Amino acid sequence: MKIGFEAKRAFYNRGGLGNYSRNTIEILSKYYPQNSYYLFTPSVENAVNFKKAENVKTVIPKLFLSKTFKSYWRTVRLSKKIREYKLDIFHGLSGELPYKSDKRNNTKLIVTIHDLIFLRYPELYRPVDRKIYFHKAKYACEIADTIIAVSEQTKTDIINFLDIPDNKTEVVYQGCNSIFYNEVDTNKKIEVTQKYNLPEKYILNVGTVEKRKNTLSVLKALKHGKTETEFVIVGKKTDYQNELEKYAEENNLADKLTILNDVPSEDLPAIYQQAELFVYPSFFEGFGIPLIEALYSKIPVITTKGGVFSETGGLSSIYIDPENYEQLAEAINNVLNDKKLREKMISEGYDFVQKFNEEKIASNLMNVYLK
């Protein structure tokens, strides 16, 4: 088959959408090399470097207008490229399909919807952004031949918020980069520890440093539980980071808090694997890739009760009310102080996370394409 991807985020997004895009492209081309894969992006200048097989071709605009007005190329010109390349499948990897891409001859359209958080928590978004996101998601879901939801939770939201028939949506879970599958060697761990001045023992949280991730509750829990173990946060900075630093300063926790921004992917496994515990009290996620990364890294996980979290975290993780920092404090101290509990959570969590390995994810995606 000839399979095309809207790949801007694969080249330019270092967060969850970018990771999903890159992983999807890499594992499909690895396990199904008989196909041809085309990455449509408005530019590759200063892009994220990722592994591309010989059967993966990058397509960028040649016309001045398309190079200058990149959003125009992605939303309008790209539909013409779909027809020009006579693709069998075109997959919008991040909730969008190009305008008029329904005029695509025989090409089948697929879109991945990661979450509809902008509809669940509208107060977290500017009104103009909500309108744009809604229009793009609704349009993509309506013209797509098949919608991929990254979790049962997201599928339910697509049905309820966008009024899409349930038989149009397939659930295909996400995975994580295979660099998290294996034990990091000692030299790399030492190098990363020194590079970021990591504490000897620490609790870890990974993800964009934003209000929805509810990281402040961890600081409140550490204060309430009088926990001595330090706290390391890794993620993209937003204004919420200032709130965390202010709270830490005002509550004598500044020396226990480390926030690392712009950490390259290759350093993350060493940071995960040296942590005592992964704490992820997010209010809502479409999937929660950091939970998968933590389970592969063989560290215990505490996360949020309800929503998608039990789908991603499995039976071995501990689930708490994200509003209840006293409950979180108790859970943190229990895991840190109970060796048998930790070992049980690690062993069972590692067994559970094998359902998200890259070969299974690639197979599930390809079955959707073939269908």
From residue 290, how far is each of 57, 124, 183, 278 by CA, in Å?
29, 21, 17, 9
Domains 2-172 and 178-355 fall in the same CATH topology = yes
The CATH fold assigned to 178-355 is Rossmann fold (3.40.50)
pLDDT value of position 46: 86
User: Residues of 327-364 as b/e, b for ≥16 C-beta within 10 angstroms?
Assistant: bbbbbbbebbeeeeebeebbebbbebbeebbbebbbee
Q: Across the chain, what does the average pLDDT equal?
A: 93
**Residue 243 backbone dihedrals phi, psi, to 5 degrees:** -65, -40
Assigned token pair, 33: 């090399």
CA dist 19 and 235 (Å) reads 13
Residue 290 CB partners (closer than 8 Å, separation 6+) = 205, 206, 207, 278, 280
pLDDT digits (tens, 9 = 90+) for 252-267: 999 999 999 999 889 9
One DSSP character per residue, 230-258 reads EEEEES-B-THHHHHHHHHHHTT-GGGEE
- Tokens 């999903």 belong to 20
Contact 273, 298 (CB under 8 A): yes
Query: What pairing do the DSSP bridges indicate for beta strands 2-6 and 36-40?
Result: parallel
For the chain, what are the domain ranges?
A: 2-172, 178-355
Residue 4: pLDDT above 70? yes
% of the chain surpassing 90 pLDDT: 81
CATH of domain 2-172: 3.40.50.2000
Q: What is the pLDDT of residues 189-241, one digit of tens each?
A: 999 999 999 999 999 999 999 999 999 999 999 999 999 999 999 999 999 99
Q: For 57-116, what is each residue's pLDDT tens digit? A: 999 877 655 455 567 676 777 888 888 999 999 999 999 999 887 766 789 999 999 999
What residues contact residue 354 under an 8 Å CB cut-off, 6+ apart?
none
